[in-house]
Structure 1
Amino acid sequence: MLGLLRELGELKRIRSAAHQGSIAQRLFAAAWSALVAGQSPMAVMRATTAAALAATRLGDIDRTVLAELAIPPADAEAILDRALREATAELPDFSLGMPEPLTTGTPPRFATLLARQPRAGVTCPGRPRLLLEPPEDHAEHCLMVAVYGVLLAPVYGARPAPVFLASLAHHLHNALIPDSGFAGEVLLGEHLEPAFARATEHAMAELPAPLAEAVRQARTILPDAGTAEGRAFHAADTLDRVLQIEQHLRAGKASMGYVLNDMALVHEGPVKDFQDQLLAAVGLAA
């Protein structure tokens, strides 16, 4: 599953001309918007996870784009379904058809703020901060943990819906509190937990009462790994944090041979011979 998790993580960095923000950022906003509009966490989980998986193959080509290209609806659904099946080909126990799109409206204010709140980078008490640009934001992180959590839930025998909802909501406090990382949290000392609790409630006040109660119930899995759902969440959270850093390190280690040969940057086509001769002539062949 690790390769698929890496591909999903790239949704934090895929953007397109017609939209503000990354795919992950917009999926986070759409999920919260649908929840506030009254759709069930299970329905939102299925649609969000399927959209993220399909996007690993299609990028920002979604139903809206396919419709604008005058592709017949049945053909558009077939394209989306093929993308989803290809993305999950190595997950034989994972069955999720392409659900209907979510009914969305205006997301809660905290969702917008989390999309503007950068993650702290790597911090440790007594050591300089390690920042890797561009930083991810909290919306992207929470969305990715939610999708990872759904995929990892069967590994731990966990119920995926509460894992998904808790993951979406596990950084509500950062809508109000800037992320200072581990080093800053240590300095807050005894004030840390009360401050986080007050900031979380500040965000929760934006939700309809039934949804707020569902979020509170889901968040009971967050403090430890004593339940199956807690283990699925913490596995997802840990993997996303580490893979986010690995992405930067992996890109920095990529060689020209890998890019040209394995990734076929200059790929097969009518002018391939000319392109190969050009690269050899200027000293860029690998």
Structure 2
Amino acid sequence: MSGVGVGTTLLRQLGDLKRLRDARGPGSLADRAFVRGWRRLVQGADFERIALEETARALVATRLAGVDGSVLRRAGLERAEALEVLERAFDAALEVGGPELGDTEDLRAVLPQLVDDADDAEDDRDRVPPFVLALVDQPRAGATHPSTPRIIVEPPESHGDHCFVTAAYSALIAPRHGVARGDAFVVAMAHHLPNGDLPDAGYAGEVLLGEHYLRILDALEQRSLEQLPAELAGRLRILLPQRETAETPVGRVFNAADVLDRVLQVHHHARAAAFTASQALEDLDIVHPGTVQTYQLGVLADAGLGIR
């Protein structure tokens, strides 16, 4: 058994960071977290610290989207007030995590640091290796097969989106397998290094490249690793081979997180295609409760757009 220990509701909500954006920088919140994480990695930050802070930030964002500590402080909240908001969002996120999520106090403990951190996305982009920005620009292929037409879904996720969300999943799953959150997080962040140069043709591409496929992956992975500081590249050369097996704890964590993200992405597109206006009105209260709700519902009813 996989022993994931995290409810898919929480994983799905973390996956939605691929689709959330704000005005403070380019790309999705997941893309920006991917770039920020790599900036910290090349600067020599501790793997565990990066994993804890970026995963905690992602959990908060499932409730607050781009409203983070720097936004709250800019808006005039005192440090203690901003921390209280982040803790409230963090706790709300974990309510759907499932009973087997385990101890998350190490994640909660880093929230004070998130109050003080600035999120300068443009500055991060200036301080990462070229392959990082290429992965943010490189679309994922989605579901492909060598003998059938490609299924096109819009908009496609990026490799940065996928790698970061898989890293957050990995960090949550890791303790259940006796794996350090930091090692699990970094393997997932780095698992698509070849795609800095290699456009994604999906499963169809793997099959049709045939006997050349693994040689191409190895050559292009080395090109990306050569862009990194020697110590970091050396640690990745030890960790990354474990993504190819389910026989080690690190490999089991990675492969569980990777397949969950790939399949939940497909579920997202299926849900989006089936979404109805009635769901927004009836289930999601898009006309929010409040002093003008009755008036607004009347306007919609008069226009023929109300709840049916």
Shorter-normalised TM-score: what interval? over 0.9
Q: Deviations over 1:39-87 (max 9, x none)?
A: 1111111111011111111111112212221221221122112211221
For residue 146 of structure 1, report the CA deviation from its aligned partner.
Answer: 0.4
Q: Deviations over 1:224-258 (max 9, x none)?
A: 11122211111110111111111111122123332
* Structure 1: distance between partners of 2:241 and 2:143: 27
* Structure 1: distance between partners of 2:58 and 2:260: 17
Matched, 1:16 2:22: yes
**Alignment correspondent of 1:168:** 189
Matched, 1:54 2:54: no
Matched, 1:284 2:297: no
Matched, 1:30 2:60: no
TM-score (normalizing by structure 2): 0.88
Corresponding residue to 2:113 among 72, 90, 100? 100
CA contact (8 A) 2:18 2:161 kept: yes
* Structure 2: distance between partners of 1:240 and 1:129: 20
Percent same amino acid among aligned pairs?
41
Corresponding residue to 1:123 among 134, 141, 144? 144
CA contact (8 A) 1:138 1:171 kept: yes
Worse-matched range after superposition: 141-150 or 80-89: 80-89
**Alignment correspondent of 1:135:** 156
**Alignment correspondent of 1:7:** 13
Structure 2 unmatched ranges of 5 or more: 1-6
* Structure 1: distance between partners of 2:112 and 2:255: 27
For residue 99 of structure 1, report the CA deviation from its aligned partner.
Answer: 5.5
For residue 278 of structure 1, report the CA deviation from its aligned partner.
Answer: 2.3
For residue 125 of structure 1, report the CA deviation from its aligned partner.
Answer: 1.1
Corresponding residue to 2:165 among 116, 122, 144? 144
CA contact (8 A) 1:160 1:229 kept: no
Matched, 1:242 2:263: yes
Structure 1 unmatched ranges of 5 or more: none
Matched, 1:215 2:236: yes
**Alignment correspondent of 1:265:** 286
Corresponding residue to 2:75 among 52, 59, 69? 69
Worse-matched range after superposition: 127-136 or 90-99: 90-99
Per the alignment, in what secondary structure is the counterpart of residue 127 of structure 1?
coil
CA contact (8 A) 2:83 2:112 kept: no
Per the alignment, in what secondary structure is the counterpart of residue 122 of structure 1?
coil
Per the alignment, in what secondary structure is the counterpart of residue 133 of structure 2?
helix
**Alignment correspondent of 1:85:** 91
Question: How many residue pairs are counted as aligned between the two chains?
Answer: 286
* Structure 1: distance between partners of 2:288 and 2:17: 24
CA contact (8 A) 2:52 2:181 kept: no
* Structure 1: distance between partners of 2:72 and 2:152: 38
* One-letter amino acid of the structure 2 residue matched with residue 47 of structure 1: E
TM-score (normalizing by structure 1): 0.95
* One-letter amino acid of the structure 2 residue matched with residue 121 of structure 1: G
Per the alignment, in what secondary structure is the counterpart of residue 25 of structure 2?
coil
* Structure 1: distance between partners of 2:161 and 2:174: 20
Per the alignment, in what secondary structure is the counterpart of residue 21 of structure 1?
coil
Corresponding residue to 1:227 among 237, 243, 248? 248
